[in-house]
Structure 1
Amino acid sequence: MTGAEACRPTRLMSLGLVAGPILSMVDSSVVNLAVQDLTRELNRPLEVVQWAVSGYLLALAVGLALTSFLARRFGLVPTYIGSLALFTLASAACALSPDAGALICCRALQGLGGAPLVPLAIGLLIGEGGAATGSGGRVPLAAGLAFFAAPALGVSLGGLLIGAYGWRSIFLINLPIGLLALPGAFAAYRAGLGVRGDRAVRPDLPGLMLLATGLGLATYGVERVAAHGWATPSWPIGLALLAAYVLWARRRPQAALALDLVRDSARAMTLALCGRGLAIGFTSQPLVIALLGGLAPERVPDANTLFSVAQRLAGSFGIALLVTFFTTRGAATGSPLTGFRETALVLAAAALLGTLGATGLRLASATGRRAGPDSA
């Protein structure tokens, strides 16, 4: 029985599926605001405290590499529930950390728990048989607004919390949100949303190592570009490992992350459009729907993880390139506003072209599916 047949989504379920990605997106950046406070209160140098940010990003890469296997092995909703519970408990542990070492370890656990939340929730909301099946694959308006505004509002709220209550408050705020979201996730499981796990699935350990290490080094290296320049060796090594994973996955029947979806030209183009690095909120919905359209429910974990990997790599490299361009152009003209205006135009054009292209793919995909039975 599919999710579409088993249930009609309730507000409680939607809350449970939307809250997890928001927590993960906000925590990716909000701790940057607390670095100076952490350095002072924990009495550790900046090089050590910075690992509270870097450790989270590295663990996020490992968790993202594991997402597809965990979802196929245990099911979409159980994996989502476990990830949300781990993220919530790790947030409480971060708030109670007595020193920098404990905080870094707890932040790594946060990253492991937070990584699957976005791709799994996307599939559970707008995948085949997902919570939005009855609405034509459209995420509810409130959910779209929340995804779009979460990073900016999270940083603003984080700054207010740090100023009023200290750095521990940015972790404690996750606790009530996570606890409120868990009942909705359990309701989705009881209603039969998402595909169940397959105990016959086995881990592809070499593939997981290549994918996790490559993604971690690539994103970690790019995060260091602003401070150390493009000469850092981490990101080229990461890209080389990712290329090695592509070669490995082509010969594996059960790879850690199946890549056969990109053999379809429409889905390959959809993943390429993720490279605009702006696939959040409303602009991501046509992309995700085009990617998931017509897929069997059991393929949704691979498709969602591919989308998240492409988006993460493109977002990291895109931001680093824009920062480099902004700095170089502003220094050359003597006016930082010149670089800002050109950057804003590039971002607006990329968003418009990406959204129009993805919408066209969605319409073409829907037309093809309608024409298929008639031609047969």
Structure 2
Amino acid sequence: MTGSPASAPADTPRLPPGVMTTAWVLIIGGFAAILDSTIVAIAIDTLAREFDEPVSTIQWVSTGYLLALAVAIPLTGWAQARFGGKRLWIAALALFLLGSVLCAFAWDATSLIAFRIVQGLGGGIMFPLMQSLAVQAAGGRTKGLGRMMAVVTVPIALGPIVGPVIGGAILDGLSWQWMFLVNVPVVLVGIALAAWRLPDDSARRRPAKLDIVGLVLLAPGLALILLGLSNVESGGGVVRSEVLLPLIAGTALTVGFVFWSITRRERALVHLRMLGRRTLASASLVLWLAGAALYGAMLLLPLYWQALRGETVLAAALLLIPQGVGSLAARPLAGILLDRIGARALTVIGFALIAIGTVPFALADADTSNVWLSAVLVVRGLGLGTVLIPLMTVSMTGLSHDEIPQATMITRISQQIGGAFGTAVLAVVLTELTTGAASPADAVNAFHVTFWVATGVAVLALLASLLLPGREPDEPTIEEAEVAEAAV
């Protein structure tokens, strides 16, 4: 029977024609937004000198972008239903392009922060929409979806690694304006490809009333939570008004939205009742921890090489390349293994690799070989490249066409808050330990303890992964599910 036509469909994951083309079009457009956030992150000191402003002010170039993302994400589901996915994608790219050009011509810190918010609004729509359009193009078929997710999530894995390298190279040889102008050709190509190759979904547009109350509760609620967590990184402890007040206010608004969403059901801005599905609920929880594991290390690893090993910003970025190599290498294999061993087993393996690749940093000192640490980062990258694919795939299992945008908003919010939480926790631990460091040995110990905390986050995520469903039979496509619903 091997190789016979009858056995091929059961053994070979199949996707509708043109799906991979759609995936690559989305990648080209979305890569600029993901890359930009990591390029700018390493330029804070340079921008502070250029505009003659304190770092605390210039930090809002990154913070404003982050808060704009939080405000825009909950709007994506409504906007896609109202305007159509293709139109919304092109509009988001155009908004991001406008923000990039304006940033390059900023005349002071205030204008730069304002224009970064414009960028963030575009990026906040693009991130969840990219996943929604890809899954909808696949027709909701679980079998083979892992291979497509391996492609669509390439920018998410590659951006944090390539961004600092490109940013360091630009700052080393060009003016700061090129950090934003480098986006222009990429986004222009993305817009042209989207207009040409993205499927026309205008027939699925429908009148959608915006949930104003939900927007007023959720958008500022998420922004305030992220603001409070971001303020933790500036030092001074957690018990400060600039940390506690945003966190308390943001949590109160978000809790208010939870109750509002439950009563509004399908009319709510974000359909939280969908968390009653085991697949979406478990994937969202693990994505929260995955965000902590990924973004927390983005803070910790560069600091390790700069503060403890005396490397420059560019050298530290180059030393992170092996992690990106491992992440990219894992993606094709992860897409195949997902169909063979299931989401639970694959996610457990991924977080195990992340933990294994973090432990050596908790044992390293100032003399540990960079060659050894680079090899360790490859292992860590293999884990990072593995976990996102099954998590994003399983979160879409069994959803109809119109439910997919809601699920992507929920998972994106989970990952965003998890990343901010993980970064804040590691920043607090490292800051508290290094503040009282009286010797180089104390500084080394501070990093050791912080890396052990990062390892613990990966282990906790591994344990939470056991809640995910195991390997299951092929799910029906969206079209098949809708036909079945109509028949009932």
Q: When the two structures are superposed, what TM-score results if normalisation uses the length of structure 1?
A: 0.86
How many residues align? The count is: 363
Which whole-Å CA distance do the structure 2 matches of 1:103 and 1:130 have between them? 41
One of 73, 76, 83 as aligned partner of 2:92: 83
Which whole-Å CA distance do the structure 1 matches of 2:416 and 2:392 have between them? 14
Q: Deviations over 1:332-371 (max 9, x none)?
A: 89312421441342244345456x547x52624x46769x
Equivalence map 1:137-152=2 (5 Å): 137-139=146-148, 141=150, 143-152=152-161
How much has 1:151 moved relative to structure 2?
A: 1.0
CA pair 134-272 structure 1, distance change in 2 beyond 3 A: closer
Q: Deviations over 1:95-136 (max 9, x none)?
A: 112222221221110010010111111122234635998833
- Match of 1:266, as an amino acid? T
How much has 1:266 moved relative to structure 2?
A: 2.9
1:99 aligns with 2:108: yes
Equivalence map 1:230-245=2 (5 Å): 230-231=238-239, 232=243, 233-245=245-257
1:322 aligns with 2:330: no
Quote the residue 1:299 is aligned against.
Answer: 403
1:196 aligns with 2:304: no
Mapped contact 1:129–1:193 kept (Cα < 8 A): no
Quote the residue 1:255 is aligned against.
Answer: 268
Q: Deviations over 1:208-251 (max 9, x none)?
A: 01111000000011011022432222122111111110011112
- Match of 2:426, as an amino acid? L
Structure 2: where are the runs of 5+ without partners? 1-14, 295-383
Which whole-Å CA distance do the structure 2 matches of 1:49 and 1:337 have between them? 26
Q: When the two structures are superposed, what TM-score results if normalisation uses the length of structure 2?
A: 0.67
% identical aligned pairs:
29
Partner secondary structure for residue 263 of structure 2: coil
Structure 1: where are the runs of 5+ without partners? none
Quote the residue 2:369 is aligned against.
Answer: none
Which whole-Å CA distance do the structure 2 matches of 1:298 and 1:174 have between them? 31
Mapped contact 1:20–1:118 kept (Cα < 8 A): no
Mapped contact 1:77–1:188 kept (Cα < 8 A): no
| Greater Rg by CA | 2
Which whole-Å CA distance do the structure 1 matches of 2:190 and 2:461 have between them? 31
Which whole-Å CA distance do the structure 1 matches of 2:197 and 2:475 have between them? 31
1:18 aligns with 2:27: yes
- Match of 2:219, as an amino acid? A
CA pair 130-38 structure 1, distance change in 2 beyond 3 A: farther
How much has 1:195 moved relative to structure 2?
A: 7.6
1:271 aligns with 2:284: yes
Quote the residue 1:221 is aligned against.
Answer: 228
Partner secondary structure for residue 97 of structure 2: helix
Give RMSD over aligned pairs.
Answer: 3.0
- Match of 2:200, as an amino acid? G
Which whole-Å CA distance do the structure 2 matches of 1:349 and 1:321 have between them? 16
Mapped contact 1:76–1:301 kept (Cα < 8 A): no
1:206 aligns with 2:213: yes
How much has 1:65 moved relative to structure 2?
A: 2.1
Mapped contact 1:83–1:113 kept (Cα < 8 A): yes
How much has 1:197 moved relative to structure 2?
A: 2.2
Equivalence map 1:37-116=2 (5 Å): 37-116=46-125
Which whole-Å CA distance do the structure 1 matches of 2:226 and 2:145 have between them? 34
- Match of 1:192, as an amino acid? D
Mapped contact 1:19–1:177 kept (Cα < 8 A): yes
Q: Deviations over 1:75-105 (max 9, x none)?
A: 2222111111110121011111222222122
Which whole-Å CA distance do the structure 2 matches of 1:350 and 1:173 have between them? 38
- Match of 1:223, as an amino acid? S
How much has 1:192 moved relative to structure 2?
A: 3.4
Q: Deviations over 1:181-227 (max 9, x none)?
A: 112222343x33698321x2011111101111000000011011022
Which whole-Å CA distance do the structure 1 matches of 2:455 and 2:98 have between them? 42
